[in-house]
Amino acid sequence: MTASPRRTPVYRRPTPDDLPLAGAGLDSAAVRARLADADARTLLMSLTMLTRDAGHLERFAAVCDPANAETGAEAEADEIRDLLSVVLTDPAFVPDPAPMTVGLFQQMATAYVREPVDAEFVPLLLEQCGFDRLPGAPELPTPEKPQPPDGFHVAVIGAGLSGICAGIKLAEAGYSYRIYDRNKDVGGTWLTNVYPGVGVDTPSHFYSYSFEITSDWPEFYSKGAYVLDYLRRCADGHGLRDHTSFETEVLSCAYDEASTRWRITTRGPDGREATEWADAVVTAMGFFQGSVRPDIPGLADFAGPALHTADWDPDVDLSGKRVAMIGTGASAMQAGPAIVDEVAELAVFQRTPSWVMPRRKEDLTVPDGALWAMRHVPYYGEWFRFFTYWFASDGNFVRVVIDPDWTTPGSVSEPSEKMRQWLLDYAQEELADRPDLLARVIPAYPPFGKRILRDSNWYRMLRRDHVDLVTSPIERVVPGGVVTADGKETAADVLILATGYKVLPMLDGIEITGRSGVALTDVWGVDDPRAHLGLTVPGFPNLFVLGGPNSAPNHGAGVNITAETQVHYVLQCLALLHTHGARAIEPRQDVHDAYNDQVEKALEQRVWSHPSVRSYYQNSKGRVVVSNPWRLVDYWTMLRSPDPADHILG
């Protein structure tokens, strides 16, 4: 079998080979005008990378200084734009073809974010910000990937973000593979979630694959339809549909020790069951596995539509209706502001308030100049992606680590308290004229204890005259509304259940049996899953669980990094298998147990284990089973290459 060559990327990015820019409207003056709305800090990085002149970093340091956020260091920013417009259009300019040194890259990164960017981050940044595939960037060592044996076939369960990533990378490595998805199309949660206002609360320019970075996001936090379009284009551009069985549910996966293969039972769109075989199984079902409908007495008796945000019916007309929304989590915080102008009344039933991240700016539309720069200026999109990663991901990690000597209520450390005060100041500013609301929206738990949410005009929605925030517990639902414990009945024509998603049991709905017929449910129980590195389980050879136990980066953005990192590890495990001429690989039990002991000890010092916190990150006994206790860079480094001594190869 010949390995499949890398396809041309779906989303082409500008490189130094595209210079000089030429054509109608692309002289230096026109380019200078287009750069007016682009971010000066990021333009500085492009200029430095193209010219290899580190002197620019000191000369124009003011544009990166947060102290100049209001003024923008206009004189320096204008000079950067002047210089770069000439570089981009000058036919005599020739970019240095040699790879940039790691030292200069690190110096640039440190200047960009105005804080040390240690060497340990450099390999991750080069890969995850997309530099590794562009000329001029420092080169990364490429791991050896031996040719898969003829006929070695991989089954992937799920065609969402992780499953698409797995399919693309398996194809690149030369594997035969098939993806199974119960839906009619790719996209996973972005296909099935269509409630009003649905979108990312991770910065858009980071919510994409590092090998398919796009400049086409219309907003800094884009709506779900754009994310779905992105995933569809990636799937189509890499030919995944030809390898995907849609409307097909995987019922069971059973390991056959005699053949060292997995017997997979599926049910297709016609309702018929079929048996297929695979040498390895990759589950890519995501953390959320369907909606959770609350156990509220009388819910089934409600006379009007009762819509869960995860099962939204777009044909239900909310115009002029009295709406009762149960829940104040992520989907509620997006759906509520999206429908508030449409409904006659909106009653929001809150059990626990959420911490709300401030709006960075009123208009979250990406300026035309920034869009143009991402499409035409080499390295601009990659550096902008780095900036969003740095401050939306591992930059938050210090805020989730518990200081055992900290005693201030409501926080777990000095950085945690600073974060709490920042969030509190924002709430007080937004609700200055509504102290009655302010008292009800401030959580009692520390920031990041539960999922921290981005403000989509939530506070402003709560201030509206036709909106009521109800904090009295729900006692029951009646045909015409909701009755709370204080005896008050709130009339409603429509119920919106913004009550979250099933997380446990993991891999729910699939019967998985490993060696000696042992069921995974017997190992994990209903809600106590554990895995080596969040991916593999002793006794289940060649089974890889993407988004498995304790692998979620709950301190910040990073599900896309997690997906790529775990898929990389899967391919490295398979490479190890082939190198040793083996057919099966699984972690040793003692290695698995030791790793999970480390996870438990680390989680004791993370905010998700704080006594004031109760969340879907935890199981019924309070053990944190979702969150990864490490920084993204730590987890990324752990998964670079499997240690043969940690595994059983057979």
Residue 205 lies in a domain: no
Burial of 67 (0-12, 13-18, 19+ CB in 10 A): exposed
**Model pLDDT for residues 489-547, shown as the tens digit of each residue:** 999 999 999 999 999 999 999 999 999 999 999 999 999 999 999 999 999 999 999 99
Judge whether 583 and 279 are in contact, CB under 8 Å.
yes
Residue 62 lies in a domain: yes
Mean pLDDT value of segment 359-384: 91
pLDDT number for residue 1: 38
**Model pLDDT for residues 5-15, shown as the tens digit of each residue:** 557 889 999 99
Instruction: For residue 565, give the H/E element and its range.
Output: helix 559-579
pLDDT number for residue 6: 59
Mean pLDDT value of segment 622-643: 97
Instruction: For residue 460, give the H/E element and its range.
Output: helix 458-462
First to last CA, the chain: 23
Q: What are phi and psi of 95, to 5 degrees?
A: -60, 145
Place 68 in a pLDDT band, splitting at 50, 70 and 90: confident
Comparing 5-14, 250-259, 468-477, the range with the smallest average pLDDT is 5-14
Mean pLDDT value of segment 27-55: 95
Mean pLDDT value of segment 262-286: 97
Residue 25 lies in a domain: yes
d(CA 449, CA 627) in angstroms, rounded, equals 11
Residue 5 lies in a domain: no
Mean pLDDT value of segment 453-458: 94
d(CA 109, CA 627) in angstroms, rounded, equals 28
Judge whether 398 and 387 are in contact, CB under 8 Å.
no
Residue in the block written with tokens 């995907």: 244
Q: Which of 12, 284, 34, 17 has the alpha carbon at shortest distance from 157?
A: 284
Looking at the fold, whether 384 and 423 belong to one and the same domain comes out as: no
Host domain of residue 492: 299-355+412-497
Of 497, 529, 545, which residue sits at a domain end? Answer: 497
Higher pLDDT, 618 or 287: 618
Residue in the block written with tokens 């609350």: 294
Looking at the fold, whether 128 and 166 belong to one and the same domain comes out as: no
Q: Are strands 261-267 and 249-256 parallel, antiparallel or unpaired?
A: antiparallel
Task: Tell me, yes or no, if the pTM score tops 0.85.
Answer: yes
Looking at the fold, whether 441 and 510 belong to one and the same domain comes out as: no
CA atoms within 13 A on the CB side of 432: 4
Looking at the fold, whether 339 and 481 belong to one and the same domain comes out as: yes
Residue in the block written with tokens 């913004």: 498
d(CA 196, CA 517) in angstroms, rounded, equals 45
d(CA 348, CA 336) in angstroms, rounded, equals 8
Looking at the fold, whether 541 and 612 belong to one and the same domain comes out as: yes
CA distances from 195 to 68, 202, 226, 383 (A): 39, 18, 14, 33
pLDDT number for residue 489: 98
Q: Is the pLDDT of residue 3 over 60?
A: no
Of 448, 469, 497, which residue sits at a domain end? Answer: 497
Which tokens hold the place of 579? 């190198």
d(CA 140, CA 82) in angstroms, rounded, equals 33
**Model pLDDT for residues 155-202, shown as the tens digit of each residue:** 999 999 999 999 999 999 999 999 999 999 999 999 999 999 999 988
Residue 555 lies in a domain: yes
Q: What are phi and psi of 376, to 5 degrees?
A: -125, -20
Looking at the fold, whether 423 and 493 belong to one and the same domain comes out as: yes
Looking at the fold, whether 518 and 591 belong to one and the same domain comes out as: yes
d(CA 343, CA 321) in angstroms, rounded, equals 5
pLDDT number for residue 142: 77
Which tokens hold the place of 246? 């849609």
The reply to whether omega before 305 is within 30° of 0 (cis) is no
Looking at the fold, whether 507 and 426 belong to one and the same domain comes out as: no
**Model pLDDT for residues 105-124, shown as the tens digit of each residue:** 999 999 999 999 999 999 99
d(CA 103, CA 650) in angstroms, rounded, equals 43
β-partners of residue 176 are: 153
**DSSP single-letter state for residue 365:** B
**Model pLDDT for residues 521-530, shown as the tens digit of each residue:** 999 999 999 9
- The C-alpha R_g of the chain, in whole angstroms, comes to 26
Of 445, 480, 497, which residue sits at a domain end? Answer: 497
Burial of 424 (0-12, 13-18, 19+ CB in 10 A): middle
d(CA 104, CA 119) in angstroms, rounded, equals 11
Total number of domains constituting the chain: 3
Q: Is the pLDDT of residue 360 over 90?
A: no
Looking at the fold, whether 161 and 280 belong to one and the same domain comes out as: yes
Q: Rounded to an integer, what is the distance from CA 227 to the centroid of its chain?
A: 11
Mean pLDDT value of segment 557-574: 94
Residue 464 lies in a domain: yes
pLDDT number for residue 79: 97
Q: Which of 476, 647, 495 has the alpha carbon at shortest distance from 574?
A: 647
Q: Which of 457, 488, 452, 449 has the alpha carbon at shortest distance from 471?
A: 488
d(CA 641, CA 629) in angstroms, rounded, equals 20
Looking at the fold, whether 454 and 348 belong to one and the same domain comes out as: yes
Residue 650 lies in a domain: no
CATH of residue 258 = 3.50.50.60
Percent of the chain with pLDDT over 70: 99
Instruction: For residue 477, give the H/E element and its range.
Output: strand 474-478
Mean pLDDT value of segment 285-311: 94
Comparing 27-31, 185-189, 606-610, 641-645, the range with the smallest average pLDDT is 27-31
Q: Strand runs (DSSP E) across 362-404, as ranges?
A: none
Residue 513 lies in a domain: yes
Q: What number of other Cβ atoms are within 10 A of residue 471's Cβ?
A: 16
Mean pLDDT value of segment 555-575: 94
d(CA 552, CA 401) in angstroms, rounded, equals 16
Looking at the fold, whether 385 and 443 belong to one and the same domain comes out as: no
CA atoms within 13 A on the CB side of 72: 12
Looking at the fold, whether 346 and 322 belong to one and the same domain comes out as: yes
